[in-house]
């Protein structure tokens, strides 16, 4: 069973890394778009038409495509106000509870976003200036939210497989 979990974790890590790489490529495109827009605006008095729409789409992509890897590696921001919740059985129980809530919330948000994607497809909803169809963007966001929920579920299974112990996270200090 442990070998299956480890293999599944490696596969899920690869898929999540793919999503993160997509987010990185989108970020690179956003940087290029911003540079072209600034140069065009200030040197040629000709900004990129629809740059605001493209920035909104890129920001949504960066945020939501980062979710699966963040959920799998537990890269959330943690504030240790009460350190006892981060050790022993209490830490394990807290992790199980937080992961269960995370899965539930991600599933509910994914359902709402997928309903919006279907509605945008049915209504042929497009952006204001560039007339970009909204449903593919919202559809990709839906896929990444459900992928994040699945990676959180895998993480929950991994935590449940080691009762009383919380897996040590390998974080670099000073970042």
Q: What is the pLDDT of residues 39-62, one digit of tens each?
A: 999 999 898 888 989 999 999 989
Measured CA to CA, the distance from residue 9 to residue 18 in angstroms comes to 14
pTM: 0.79
List the Cα angle 158/161/163 in 5-degree steps: 115
Q: Return the pLDDT at 174.
A: 39
Measured CA to CA, the distance from residue 148 to residue 154 in angstroms comes to 10
Q: What is the pLDDT along the chain (175 residues), one digit of tens a residue?
A: 677 777 887 888 888 888 889 999 999 999 999 999 999 999 998 988 889 899 999 999 899 888 888 887 777 666 666 666 666 778 888 888 988 999 999 999 999 999 999 999 999 999 888 999 999 999 999 999 998 899 889 888 888 888 776 665 544 443 4
- Please state the separation of Cα 86 from the chain's center in Å: 24
Three-state DSSP class for 126? strand
Q: Return the pLDDT at 16.
A: 83
Q: Characterise 164 by phi-psi region: left (phi > 0), alpha (psi -120 to 50), beta (else).
A: left
Q: Return the pLDDT at 170.
A: 42
Q: Return the pLDDT at 80.
A: 66
Q: Return the pLDDT at 24.
A: 94
Q: Return the pLDDT at 98.
A: 87
Q: Return the pLDDT at 1.
A: 67
List the Cα angle 15/17/20 in 5-degree steps: 120
Q: Return the pLDDT at 79.
A: 66
Q: Return the pLDDT at 71.
A: 81
- Closest to 15 (Cα-Cα) out of 55, 75, 69: 69
């Amino acid at each position: 069973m442990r070998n299956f979990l480890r293999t599944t974790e490696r596969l899920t890590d690869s898929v999540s890394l793919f999503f993160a790489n997509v987010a990185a490529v989108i970020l690179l495109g956003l940087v290029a778009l911003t540079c072209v827009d600034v140069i065009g605006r200030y040197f040629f008095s000709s900004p990129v038409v629809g740059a605001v729409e493209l920035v909104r789409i890129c920001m949504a992509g960066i945020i939501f495509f980062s979710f699966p890897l963040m959920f799998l590696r537990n890269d959330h921001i943690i504030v240790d106000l009460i350190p006892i919740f981060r050790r022993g059985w209490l830490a394990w129980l807290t992790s199980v509870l937080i992961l269960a809530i995370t899965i539930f919330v991600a599933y509910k948000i994914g359902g709402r976003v997928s309903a919006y994607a279907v509605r945008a497809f049915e209504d042929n909803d497009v952006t204001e200036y560039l007339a970009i169809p909204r449903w593919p963007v919202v559809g990709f966001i839906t896929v990444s939210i459900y992928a994040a929920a699945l990676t959180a579920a895998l993480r929950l299974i991994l935590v449940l497989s080691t009762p009383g112990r919380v897996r040590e996270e390998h974080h670099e200090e000073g970042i």
